[in-house]
Structure 1
């Protein structure tokens, strides 16, 4: 018999429709320029809690050429509905482009909601960033030029890191869940039924077994104070770093309204932000691709990058570079 935690992990993998396996298969022996990459795997930024878990590990990817000058750092965290503790597995998909562009890339894992409840995941990413600062010189990292990127729950982690004074100077958020208590109201027609089937639930995101309820340790509608504490939007201030947001119109897991509300909060706080709304795309890492219809683009002021038809790795790189010098 498959355990309930394992069944949910399998459901996450199925819902993401191949994006996880594509990332694993894209392990980076070389950069986009065809040069070998220096890889340091399974570096422990904290003690394992519980023993034998992986949510305390990070991987580092350095460009082939050694450098005496410190490099910008891109911290990458993959989503799993907080059910997995191997978020660092998303990093290889971005490594070829960003190491060729002179970045160090860090894939960072945090504990799952089975292993620890919120705010443990925020504590983890903050600990990882502290470790990266302490060890910056050894790995050619410029601690003054750090950006965070994540998709889905990894995007939530990236935003929480950016909005809690860690020194992260740019955030890239791909379709993150944010205000948990508002999600069901804005789900696409029929999406809650599909969500319930995928995760073996009955009440969509409000269900006691939903990813968000599992993270908080309580059904989200019964603990609004905890849900508010876990909402990155409520942490937006005028000192927040610039944010690039990418979300698809056909996302059946996290409604587009979540990203639009984040964008509006950043605009109200006069924080530079760009929102790409990509037609026909669902909850899928392939959203960062030139193969989709032209995206709608919105900016707060000041605009850091010009509009492009599609959000791509080049778009992300341009935004991060602009934000790091903003």
Structure 2
């Protein structure tokens, strides 16, 4: 197993509400690619420690892994989701699109400091779970924060190493939110995130949806989702996959039969992303279906993203990263 150098609590941005930090795990190998992880937690809770064993997978995969904090959604007193927010969470807060602004700032900062920490600035993948999956997908299909759209123009600004690119070369989404327009709730997390219901802010819902920004230049994407997910409906991943297929971008989608959010079997048993990989790998023979969109230029042979089609788990991610950014 490769030795790992760990850098914890690196400040990558100064915000009015506090310092934004990241943790970085770098294998002692020659210029490894980088995976940037965004944690789940409904955009309003959890911290960058909510990640599946980064020291282990940095070593086993031979990839640098960064877990990036992003500003969590501010929750006003009396909000119907107030009970989900942990007052003791030290992560600074803001309002959307601050979350996305921070993710892109973290990617740009990491690219600017690649030589200092010893990884490859040109080979970067975004990986996220649930709300973090939304941010990872958005990071993949929106090159820069200023491209998000007119609905957020006044709030979006590049201040952290703006000369660097915020692009990524591959994306992994675990049960990520891909299309906010699927939500018509008047209350809840997403109306809080968007500042109100979709009927009042249709442009915000559309522009904050990764599926709205997919183009033929979007990076290849691995989507993994449980068919029984009661928190983020599997239709999010299906719709994103179909859109990528329509524009000719390679993508692969795993559907885990009978699994709920965070790879639990029941919504009452949902745990954190810290143990998600263990849950996912607990039964490698768990029923699952795999859908692949492989697009080929005329005169060339198909090049599958996952030629071996391993069961969903760490080997799936490693093979996908090896095919896309190694």
Q: TM-score range by the shorter chain?
A: 0.7 to 0.9
Tell me whether 1:46 sits opposite 2:7 in the alignment. Answer: no
Matches of 1:113 and 1:219, distance apart in 2: 16
Cα displacement string for residues 149-207 of structure 1 (whole angstroms, at most 9, x for unaligned residues):
010000011111111222210100011112223146xxxxxxxxxxxxxxxxxxxxx13
Number of matched residues?
263
Query: 1:259/1:92 Cα in 2 relative to 1: closer, same or farther (>3 Å)?
Result: closer
8 Å contact 1:181–1:221 — kept in the other structure? no
Structure 1 or 2: larger helix share? 1
8 Å contact 1:77–1:108 — kept in the other structure? yes
Q: Which moved more, 1:107-116 or 1:301-310?
A: 301-310
Q: CA RMSD in A?
A: 1.8
Matches of 1:220 and 1:183, distance apart in 2: 8
Q: 2:50 aligns to what? A: 90
Tell me whether 1:60 sits opposite 2:24 in the alignment. Answer: yes
Give secondary structure in 1 for the equivalent of 2:71: coil
Instruction: Please give the residue correspondences for 1:3-42 in structure 2 after superposition, counting only pairs within 5 Å.
Output: 33=1, 37-42=4-9
Question: How far is 1:36 from its partner?
Answer: 5.3
8 Å contact 1:126–1:161 — kept in the other structure? yes
Give secondary structure in 2 for the equivalent of 1:70: coil
Tell me whether 1:144 sits opposite 2:122 in the alignment. Answer: yes
Q: 1:73 aligns to what? A: 34
Matches of 1:97 and 1:61, distance apart in 2: 9
Q: 1:110 aligns to what? A: 70
Matches of 2:3 and 2:310, distance apart in 1: 32
Q: 2:178 aligns to what? A: 178
Question: How far is 1:101 from its partner?
Answer: 2.3
Matches of 1:135 and 1:128, distance apart in 2: 11
Structure 1 segments unaligned to the other structure (5+ residues)? 1-32, 185-205
Instruction: Please give the residue correspondences for 1:1-326 in structure 2 after superposition, counting only pairs within 5 Å.
Output: 33=1, 37-51=4-18, 56-63=20-27, 65=28, 67=29, 69-84=30-45, 86=47, 88-114=48-74, 115-165=93-143, 166-183=166-183, 206-208=185-187, 210-284=188-262, 285-286=276-277, 288-289=280-281, 291=283, 293-302=286-295, 303-308=304-309, 310-324=311-325
Question: How far is 1:309 from its partner?
Answer: 5.3
8 Å contact 1:173–1:246 — kept in the other structure? yes
Matches of 1:125 and 1:163, distance apart in 2: 13
Matches of 1:107 and 1:134, distance apart in 2: 16
8 Å contact 1:45–1:131 — kept in the other structure? yes
Question: How far is 1:94 from its partner?
Answer: 3.7
Question: How far is 1:92 from its partner?
Answer: 4.9
Matches of 2:180 and 2:204, distance apart in 1: 10
Matches of 2:207 and 2:181, distance apart in 1: 12
Normalization by structure 2: what TM-score?
0.76
Cα displacement string for residues 82-128 of structure 1 (whole angstroms, at most 9, x for unaligned residues):
00262x21335243023232111100110011122222111111110
Give secondary structure in 1 for the equivalent of 2:281: coil
Normalization by structure 1: what TM-score?
0.76
Structure 2 segments unaligned to the other structure (5+ residues)? 75-92, 144-165, 263-275, 296-303
Matches of 1:72 and 1:216, distance apart in 2: 34
